Amino acid sequence: MSVPRLLASLACAALAVCASGWKAYQKNGIALHWVDRTLHYRLDAGGFKNGEMSNDAFALAATSSFATWQHAHCPASGTETGVGFVFDGWQSDAKAGLDCLDPPACTKLLPNGNHVIVVQKASEWSHGAGVIALTTVGADQDAQIGDADIELNDAAYIYTNSDLPPATIVDVSNTLTHEIGHFIGLDHSAVAGATMAPNAPPGELGKRTLATDDLDGLCAIYPPPNAPPAPGPTCASARAAPDSPVALVALVLMGLCGLAWSLLRIDQG
């Protein structure tokens, strides 16, 4: 695996490593988070190459993956967090990154500019051939997320949507459920078997279902309405990237510094 490579200053950001295994990026002790818990997204109208998956199947898989996080119940309270997702339809030619209303200052973002993008051409995938998928998150100095985009590497991998492991290559629901964890602010977990674990062996379906560690992270960042915040785990200010033969997500873009919305790139591959 590669050594973490910083492409922007990390002086004002700390990566939290939590005793339970789940991880979150923090700014001034605050985990990256969405303030409005109703999050909208659009899917890539171009779909998957060579008809390997219909757009109807793509939409069904995406809806199911988002619903997995939306309807998760917190272990302590037995209730949902109130984080919800709304499918806003299809969009062509969407690009990952900040959707600024006032470039180049980028102090305002286009509302609901979140996408799931399918990259069909190797020439358009710049994140490494061994990267199955990638999530880009934009946040401000208060750790509030304002934009998130998921990219699927359809140029190098064959995506499938089967419930049978022998018929599975790279399962789109397995991949998206993991990526949505990044979408809402979670980083990789050190717990084997967690949805946010960084490995994705061929044929894997297990990340479709959240583990207790994933629920702990979700509910710590987004406590259920009217529930007291869960006790915060003990966290350090650095972490060792996991050594994984197959990188599910090797790149996460975070913007933490300055007054404007910005991006920070960390290569975890």
Going along the chain from its start, the domains and CATH numbers come out as 5-267 (3.40.390.10)
Q: How far apart are CA 269 and CA 267, in angstroms?
A: 6
Q: How many CB atoms sit inside 10 A of residue 112's CB?
A: 15
- β-sheet bridge partners, residue 75: none
Which phi and psi angles does 18 have, rounded to 5°? -105, 145
pLDDT of residue 139: 84
Q: What is the CA radius of gyration of the chain?
A: 17
The whole-number pLDDT of residue 175 equals 95
pTM for this entry: 0.81
Measured CA to CA in angstroms, residue 201 lies from 173, 208, 244 at distances of 14, 13, 10
149 neighbors 128 (Cβ within 8 angstroms): no
Residues 16-71 pLDDT 10s = 445 468 988 776 678 899 999 999 999 999 999 988 899 999 999 999 999 999 99
Residue 216 DSSP SS3: helix
Q: Quick one: tokens of 210? A: 């959240």
Residue 18 near residue 24 (C-beta atoms within 8 A): yes
Chain segment 176-185, per-residue pLDDT in tens: 999 999 999 9
Which residues of the chain carry a pLDDT beneath 70? 1-20, 27-28, 228-269
**Torsion angles phi and psi, residue 108, rounded to 5:** -135, 140
How long a stretch of residues is the chain? 269
Q: Report the distance separating Cα 181 and Cα 219, nearest Å.
A: 12
pLDDT of the residue at 20 = 62
pLDDT given at position 111: 82
Q: No. of H helices and E strands in the chain?
A: 3, 15
| Residue 92 neighbours by CB under 8 Å, 6+ apart | 44, 45, 46
pLDDT of residue 33: 93
Instruction: For the beta carbon of residue 234, count every other beta carbon within 10 angstroms.
Output: 10
Residue 70, pLDDT score: 98
